[in-house]
Amino acid sequence: MPDTWSWQSGEDDGPSLEAQPDTGAPAEFVPEEPVPSPCIKICVVHSEARICTGCLRSLEEIAAWPGMSNDERRAVLAALPDRGALLKRRRGGRAGRLSRNGD
């Protein structure tokens, strides 16, 4: 079976599909689009959970994102929904901060 095909114009019956010889050239490679960052430009790091309150990634994940493969990025994205619960717990405001610091 030929690897490439081209349209040839016939005199009587219009265009026809004819096989072309394999040139040995590699098929055209179309790179996969990079998985976009979940960053929403609200960059505040939660002091206890150590994750960004905007995108829910850890500082390590944020720093490593540009060098990650698409599979690694998808794994990070899959873990984000579960992290939202880490930020929902109320910390007690000023009174909570004072009690944590022993004041």
pLDDT tens-place string over residues 44-85:
999 888 999 999 999 999 999 999 999 999 999 999 999 988
Q: Which of 83, 69, 73 is nearest to 31 (CA)?
A: 69
Q: Is 50 exceeded by the pLDDT of residue 6? A: no
- When divided into structural domains, the chain yields a total of 1
- Which pLDDT score, from 0 to 100, does residue 101 have? 72
Q: Residue 80 belongs to what domain range?
A: 59-85
Query: How sure is the predictor about 2, in pLDDT bands with cuts at 50, 70 and 90?
Result: very low
Residue 65 belongs to some domain of the structure: yes
Distance CA 7, CA 59 (A): 54
Residue with tokens 């005199």: 11
pLDDT in tens, 14-36: 555 555 566 666 667 778 899 99
User: Does residue 77 sit within a domain?
Assistant: yes
